[in-house]
Structure 1
């Protein structure tokens, strides 16, 4: 069965082959594993990559390996963006991430603890991005490297448990993040201008909305909230609102899909370029290859904001669903 590996995999594999240190090899191998699609055709490849990773990690623990604990918290970004999932312990973060990414990590009814970041990949409408499960946020102990991982994220997803005082969990987690100078993007007006803060887009997931009584509890939760938050009731058990969640993630990361076509050929609708809103034709050319950016003579666009095959300038702002033909 064919593996159908994404283009990102081969770029990461090339970096793995040229990695000089053990730490670099482990990081790139973890990234390779995170982008491999999960289906029967990749079973052997994923098993082989995991074996190689286990050997490298074992080597890093030896005196000669010199592996550093904080390296586990430096998760290289993969795909169109990196979404970091945070929250207190026992709210179902790991189960939720495993469900969204079709991860093979073990899940059970018993509470579990994630000790290190666990990356996985998920897709929506041909956009692929990274979801990272993280250790619980607790005042008892915080890994400083975890806060650095959160600061580098493109989106923070905060998970609370509907049945375990979710309002207190939300307030406590936000307060803890604020102590480390991390805050929701839509709360910038609460801070003094020039105050050193990292502002990030946030989504709040109210987990374990598994049945009809839970829906009523969620309504009570919303009514008791003292301020408006971008909340979504979800259930890893039933799959409730998980597709909506994926769409919300794409919107919160300000991503659009742009398709390309070679002159005289049909566009490839299976592999769009995920671009930030506000990106222009010049940005797209640079993403394709530096030669395209340097040698581009003209570009034509098919889309909602233009007529088909319209000749556009390099600074034309791309729209979601645009088809671009670049001439060099």
Structure 2
């Protein structure tokens, strides 16, 4: 065993040896890995601990399959869209989700503190978007259900730490996802267009940009990127750029808000109907009520129309913030 291990390693190792359940073994092994410095002298020890961790996780997965429990990764989409928050250990995913939503994921300084996904709702003005904090992506072991959950998402929020080799984190995480056929949308031309591949928009959250010096590091980072990534510098600690991040998510989800106005009344601007960008009057009417769509007589639009209250046809393409009055036969 390496002789230069920190004191906290031995304290955690003592808890690992005393652990009696699989969950406790997994938790302490993950914490152990976080205490070991990375250098050549610890390679064998880290590899041995990762093998043990993989075996315990395999055992737990088989136990779950045998008990026919519903997977923790089967999370129903709520709100205007679902974004999977992914990334390497200690990138600050959980802190960001906790700061942005009503969720309370476990936040710790050691890696792999997140074991199960944690959903929470993020408010963007008057629209809610679901964020899901996920376990760190790990080449040694990955839950198949986690990969399936990311595939079902509308958007991938890839979180990296500006203070810890951000290029390596980005390249390794993207390579990992691509190895599981989850492909950034802007790279789709380089992959077969078949059902085995899932193409999703990616937003790179460059986290822990906590001061002006790190903001300069972010600028250098983006200047050196070769791919046309969407990026936002953020800080879960200071709240830096949180509003810009929210509206970037809104834009990448390609959604718009449309408000209904009953004839002779004021519109309710607190409860929009959420539609995909490019949505038409006919689609809006169907969302309000199917009978209105089938019996639609006239429709008027305030906002994107040439003048307020302009009468438009069923194929009129709506814009974010439009107010629509529908009249049925």
The answer to whether TM tops 0.5 is yes
Instruction: Give the Cα–Cα distance (whole angstroms) in 2 for the partners of residues 317 and 67 of structure 1.
Output: 50
Does the Cα contact within 8 Å between 1:126 and 1:271 map onto a contact in 2? yes
Instruction: Give the Cα–Cα distance (whole angstroms) in 2 for the partners of residues 152 and 195 of structure 1.
Output: 13
What's the offset of the Cα at 1:223?
A: 3.5
State the match for 1:283 in structure 2. 283
State the match for 2:116 in structure 1. 116
Instruction: Give the Cα–Cα distance (whole angstroms) in 2 for the partners of residues 176 and 189 of structure 1.
Output: 19
Alpha-carbon spacing, 1:103–1:196, altered in 2? closer, same or farther (3 Å): closer
What's the offset of the Cα at 1:302?
A: 1.1
Matches within 5 A, 1:289-304: 289-304=289-304
Instruction: Give the Cα–Cα distance (whole angstroms) in 2 for the partners of residues 212 and 151 of structure 1.
Output: 36
Matches within 5 A, 1:22-101: 68-69=68-69, 71-101=71-101
What's the offset of the Cα at 1:225?
A: 2.5
What's the offset of the Cα at 1:204?
A: 0.2
Instruction: Give the Cα–Cα distance (whole angstroms) in 2 for the partners of residues 86 and 107 of structure 1.
Output: 15
Does the Cα contact within 8 Å between 2:81 and 2:130 map onto a contact in 1? yes
What's the offset of the Cα at 1:87?
A: 0.6
More divergent stretch after superposition (296-305 vs 242-251): 296-305
Does the Cα contact within 8 Å between 1:234 and 1:240 map onto a contact in 2? yes
The count of residues paired between Structure 1 and Structure 2 equals: 264
Deviations 1:43-82 (A, max 9, x none): xxxxxxxxxxxxxxxxxxxx9xx86455211110001111
Instruction: Give the Cα–Cα distance (whole angstroms) in 2 for the partners of residues 259 and 193 of structure 1.
Output: 37
State the match for 2:198 in structure 1. 198
Instruction: Give the Cα–Cα distance (whole angstroms) in 1 for the partners of residues 210 and 107 of structure 2.
Output: 17
State the match for 2:266 in structure 1. 266
Larger radius of gyration: 2
Q: Give the unaligned 5+ runs of structure 1.
A: 1-62
Structure 1 length-normalised TM: 0.76
Instruction: Give the Cα–Cα distance (whole angstroms) in 2 for the partners of residues 227 and 295 of structure 1.
Output: 48
Q: Give the unaligned 5+ runs of structure 2.
A: 1-62
Structure 2 length-normalised TM: 0.75
Instruction: Give the Cα–Cα distance (whole angstroms) in 1 for the partners of residues 300 and 231 of structure 2.
Output: 40
Instruction: Give the Cα–Cα distance (whole angstroms) in 1 for the partners of residues 148 and 80 of structure 2.
Output: 20
Does the Cα contact within 8 Å between 1:70 and 1:145 map onto a contact in 2? no
State the match for 2:166 in structure 1. 166
CA-based RMSD of the aligned residues comes to: 2.0
Instruction: Give the Cα–Cα distance (whole angstroms) in 2 for the partners of residues 95 and 85 of structure 1.
Output: 11
- What secondary structure, in the 3-state scheme, does the structure 2 residue paired with 1:71 have? coil
Instruction: Give the Cα–Cα distance (whole angstroms) in 2 for the partners of residues 134 and 220 of structure 1.
Output: 28
Deviations 1:168-226 (A, max 9, x none): 11111111111111111111122245584211111001111111221232233223333
Task: Confirm or deny that 1:307 pairs with 2:307.
Answer: yes
